[in-house]
Chains A and B, each alone.
Chain A
Amino acid sequence: MSFIGNEEQIRFLQDRFKFIYGILFIGVGVLLSRLFFLQMINGDQMRQYSEENRIKRVKIPAPRGMIFDREGKILIDNRPAFYVNITPQYLKESGKPKEVIGQLSKVIKMPVEDIEKKLNKVRGQASFMPVLIKDNLTRDEVAALETWKINMPGVQVEMGISRMNTDQDIGSNLYGYIGKISPNELPSLNLSIGQNSSRKYQLDDSVGKSGLEKQFEDNLRGVDGSELVEVDALGRSIQITKNKGRVLAQNQEEPSVPGKNLVLSIDRDLQLAAARGFGEKQGGLIAIDPRNGEVLAMVSRPSFNPADLSRGVDAELWAKLISDENHPLRDKAIQDHFSPGSTFKAITAIAALEEGVITKDTTFNCGGSIMLGNRKVHCWRKEGHGSVNVVSALTHSCDVFFYRVAQKLKSVDDIAKYAMHLGMGKRTGIEVGREVPGLIPTEAWKKRRFNTEWSPGETLYVAIGQSFVLTTTIQLANAYASLINGGTLYKPMIVKTVQNEDSKTIKENIPQVLDRTNLKKETVDLVTEGLWGVVNAPGGTANWMHKPGMEFAGKTGTVQVFTQKAEKIYQKCENLRFRQRHHGVFVGYAPIKNPSIVVAVYAEHACSGSHGAAPIAKEVIETYLRKYYPDVYNDKALAEARKKPGSTFKPTSGE
């Protein structure tokens, strides 16, 4: 063999190979034993780890129960909606947050700055908590996001259930809304659940926050299930819907149990009619069946759309709702109390008749004012009403008549007694939260509250529903329902039945009587005749609403927002600033004979009961009559009634 260079050197190096091979075999031996250790000895365990790595138990949210009206029409429904989240932690880990946001911005057509603003807003919150970037994605956006999701770590498209009101914002104050559980309410929520883990709330669960959603949370909420899904290291699930991708170990799936459905006594058509009646006006309306206390309609205007709130509220929208001085989140039918004004006169009349201080023949002369000591107390009508009895006093809403009645009554407690028996001054107990009690003043109350004696003059104001008297719309409706039916006070009922997903009734609510006052028939007849006159007799305060063939009765009320000087009282309301305008109140019922609906309307700043509130009630009543008495109240009957105006049915006292 020839050697290039030093032969001795090469031979020397060849000797070194023994040593080199030794190192090689040691190295290979080490690798092989490690391989053996990991794959053969620890293989089972490592396999298990890898299984755990990719299979994640994912919650299947249970569909929330739906809410139906009395005819089974859907009021509140669940609909899928897609939204996109960013998890700041994963975004950071991706190492290219700018690029990810840039790409996302292109896909969802939202400026980069807006996305960054949303992310900055939640600084300080745990960084693994997803931040809602855009809600209600279109199909195209969802598809595009799915395509690009591998390039956008930290970005997740989620499908959520949106709580939809079929009629957007109509009735939402009654139905309420659901929202994400906040960290502070979690402990108290779970306290009532107990240790039953499957019902326990978690932080990303939704819970009813107001209205029926809150009150019937236990019924509406289902039991969440779970399934096993493949995920990657960033927790991104490989599929977004069950049908699209791999769901592993199907037999390990725990199905979810849907929530129970509520069937309300509400009639959707009347809800729509109420909203129509309100138009741009604000306030609350409630319609009650005086025969059993079922609530037929209940709206509050303005309102909100629960779909906007069901999946994480946008902070801007929330701030807007909260700070809106028209209080869209408040249910004005039960959460606003106000002086009932002239609508309270019916109660005063009942008290006077029942206590025997007046009879049907008692008349007083109204000269536009009376003297109380040396103070002049006005009637709403400067010129006065002349000689009035109880029927015409109600029809014309004569203040002086009721001042005189008040003076004849022994005490304010006499009025309070009847008002309370008719359900005023305390919560009606309707199954919706945060009802306010209102106030019916008594002598004892004033002593307790102000530590002063009741002054007899104050009774005058109470008699016309002013002063300390505060009622809610629902109380007015319920009180009138009670006086019309002869004194039976029902608890307003909103949920007729609770049904499971197969429409099987689980629980049925029956009418509950809260109070029974045996009103004399004559009392009821006199008062209802007066109420009939309001709409149907010449000179009635709402006579302009009279429509032959579509008669209803009722009582108007106009409530001053601020106590104003005498001359200002007669100033035209429309010239005042909106917030200073009077509230209009109207309580109406129909049919005249055997009434089956009472509608109370509280129209905020609508200036008068007659023009502000009564038309709203009329819209609901007319819709109701046409729907429930199509044989009596239809276009044909209306046309005939118009031809002979004299034929209007008029109840007569003592009939």
Chain B
Amino acid sequence: MSYSSMETNLDQQFDPNRTTSYEEEFKWLKWVPLILEVIILTWGMINLSSATAVEDKSSGLWKNQLITIAIGSIGTILIMFPHYSFLSRLAYLIYMANLGLLVAVLAVGKASLGAKRWIGFGGFSLQPSELMKVSMVIFLAKYFENKSTSNGLKIRDLIMPTIFVMIPLALILVQPDLGTAMIILLVYGSMLLFLKISPKVLVGLTILAALALPVIYNYGLKPYQRMRITTFLDPMSDPKGAGYNSIQSMIAVGSGQMLGKGWKKGTQAHLNFLPEHHTDFIFSVFSEEWGFVWCSILLLLYTLFIMSGLSVAYRSNDKFATLLAFGITSIFFWHVFVNMGMVMGMLPIVGVPLPFLSYGGSALLTAMSGVAILVNIANKKYMF
């Protein structure tokens, strides 16, 4: 099959009047995810220096993040050059390896803030549950690569992948890391919807979920997790206790008003009213100091970034790559949506970092490798 002739034909479908190759004209598009990553990350570092200014006078956290970026950059280059198909070949191995790490966390992991999520490697500590998000997507892309789904997935099609999702999910839930578990579930759901679930099954699953929710709420959740949901529904029920974080965070966001209080001048964060303000609640610091206008621009950047990821998925000619790119993009989407929703008091508080803004090595490395994979796919499209 001649590649160039097909290419021309296809492009002419989009715009019959164009004279140049679509691909040539928009060559830079392949780099868009990376460019946006750099922009958001830079902004994020500026914001992080403000968020950590109080507790961390020696800027140790900020420097740590910088080191993570350096490592992530090397990783990005390493991931970008080989053909992404190595991920397809290694998909099951990556999945198994990550599963092994999750087991290791439970066995020898480090506890922090009441949860066991990290394993130490010399001076570094790694959060395997973060990596699992990408590993899961690679696994699912590989799993569905050769399965036809145009008629919609039936129940029997769902059994195997669901089991493979549930194993790491269970391991993550016992850590406990509700946020990551939720993201994995959302990404899995997104991929299934993308692949198309048969309408009957979809309706059935929806009813099942609706029935299961109260059961999970009453028996599946720890008291503090239940508390988060009750306080989310009515934060004022316990403004000094469980609802405190949510209220303070909303106050932080709102008090930014149109143009913000100014960099390093956010009182909510600097006076310690905000919990976890350099990790999960980083957006409340940002919005307090930058205000609505800049928040909208940040949200626009995220949207463009997600769209660029979707366009990589859309324009790939490989089903594995399409699924992979889509899955990775959906990770970003859900992170942004859940994190901002939580910070703005629309969702219960779960530990989900905001990509490129939150402090945290494993999350950042995961995000950067995700972008590297997207760019890899975008660039390798026509290599053979």
Chain A interfacial positions (CB closer than 8 Å to B): 1-6, 8-10, 12-14, 16-17, 19-21, 24, 27-28, 30-32, 34-36, 38-40, 42-47, 49-51, 53-54, 95, 150, 230-234, 236, 238
Contact = CB atoms under 8 A, between A and B. Distances in A.
22 contacts: A1-B10, A2-B1, A4-B318, A10-B316, A10-B322, A12-B196, A13-B195, A24-B307, A30-B341, A31-B299, A35-B299, A39-B254, A39-B256, A40-B258, A43-B255, A46-B257, A50-B268, A53-B251, A54-B273, A150-B54, A232-B272, A234-B272
Main secondary structure of the interface of B (DSSP, over half): helix
A43 B292 CA distance: 10
Contacts of A40: 257-258, 292
Main secondary structure of the interface of A (DSSP, over half): helix
Given A13-B322, A28-B303, A39-B253, 7 more contacts: A1-B7, A4-B317, A4-B318, A10-B317, A31-B341, A50-B288, A53-B267
A231 B318 CA distance: 57
A16 B196 contact: yes
A654 B256 CA distance: 97
Given A28-B299, A39-B295, A230-B271, A46 B255 contact: yes
A17 B312 CA distance: 12
B257 A44 contact: yes
Nearest to B302: A28
Interface in B242-279: 248, 250-258, 267-268, 271-273
B271 A47 contact: no
Contacts of A39: 253-254, 256-258, 287, 291-292, 295
B118 interface: no
A438 B254 CA distance: 73
Contacts of A43: 254-258, 292
Contacts of A50: 251-252, 254-255, 267-268, 273, 288
Given A17-B314, A24-B306, A54-B271, A5 B346 contact: no
Nearest to A151: B55
B267 A35 contact: no
A42 B258 CA distance: 11
Given A40-B258, A43-B258, A233-B272, A14 B340 contact: no
B254 A1 contact: no
B246 to A, nearest CB: 12
B310 A17 contact: yes
Nearest to A4: B318
| Most chain A beta carbons < 10 A, residue from B148, B194, B195, B255 | B255
Interface in B160-212: 193-196
B58 interface: no
A49 B256 CA distance: 12
Contacts of A42: 254
Interface in B311-341: 313-314, 316-323, 326, 333, 336-337, 340-341
Nearest to B272: A232
A14 B314 CA distance: 6
A397 to B, nearest CB: 75
A45 B257 CA distance: 10
B116 to A, nearest CB: 16
A52 to B, nearest CB: 9
Contacts of B307: 21, 24
Given A1-B7, A53-B251, A233-B248, A24 B333 contact: yes
A233 B346 CA distance: 23
Interface in B120-134: none
B344 interface: yes
Given A2-B1, A13-B319, A232 B194 contact: no
B317 A1 contact: yes
A2 B321 CA distance: 14
Nearest to B11: A1
A34 B296 CA distance: 11
Given A20-B194, A24-B333, A40-B292, A32 B268 contact: no
Size range of the chain B interface in the assembly: 35 or more
Given A17-B314, A49-B251, A5 B319 contact: yes
Contacts of B195: 13, 16
B146 interface: yes
A51 B9 CA distance: 62
A575 B319 CA distance: 112
Nearest to A238: B271
A1 B6 contact: yes
Contacts of B145: 5
Contact of A9 (B257, B287, B295, B319): B319
B310 A24 contact: yes
B86 to A, nearest CB: 15
B59 interface: no
A47 B317 contact: no
B47 to A, nearest CB: 16
A45 B340 CA distance: 20
Contacts of A36: 292
B149 interface: yes
B29 to A, nearest CB: 16
A319 B296 CA distance: 66
Contacts of A24: 303, 306-307, 310, 333
B150 interface: yes
B194 A16 contact: yes
A194 to B, nearest CB: 33
B319 A6 contact: yes
A36 B1 CA distance: 52
A130 to B, nearest CB: 18
B3 interface: yes
Contacts of B9: 1
Contacts of A231: 271
A45 B145 CA distance: 52
A54 B271 CA distance: 7
Interface string B54-90: 1100000000000000000000000000000000000
Contact of A232 (B149, B271, B295, B341): B271
A353 to B, nearest CB: 80
B344 A46 contact: no
Nearest to A3: B317
Nearest to B322: A13
A39 B306 CA distance: 24
Instruction: List the 8 shortest-distance A-B pairs measured between CB atoms, nearest first.
Output: A46-B254, A232-B272, A43-B257, A50-B255, A4-B318, A39-B292, A38-B254, A1-B10
Contacts of A236: 272
Nearest to A43: B257
Nearest to A48: B255
Contacts of B345: 38
B45 to A, nearest CB: 22
Nearest to A8: B150
Contacts of B318: 3-5, 10
| Most chain B beta carbons < 10 A, residue from A30, A35, A39 | A39
A31 B148 contact: no
A150 B55 CA distance: 7
B319 A47 contact: no
Nearest to A46: B254
A34 B319 CA distance: 36
B343 to A, nearest CB: 10
Contacts of B253: 35, 38-39, 46
A49 B333 contact: no
Interface in B1-16: 1, 3, 6-7, 9-10
A245 to B, nearest CB: 12
A28 B321 CA distance: 25
Contacts of B250: 38, 46
A355 B168 CA distance: 112
A48 B281 CA distance: 20
Nearest to B7: A1
B262 to A, nearest CB: 13
Contacts of B313: 17
B254 A47 contact: yes
Contact of B194 (A13, A35, A38, A46): A13
B273 A47 contact: no
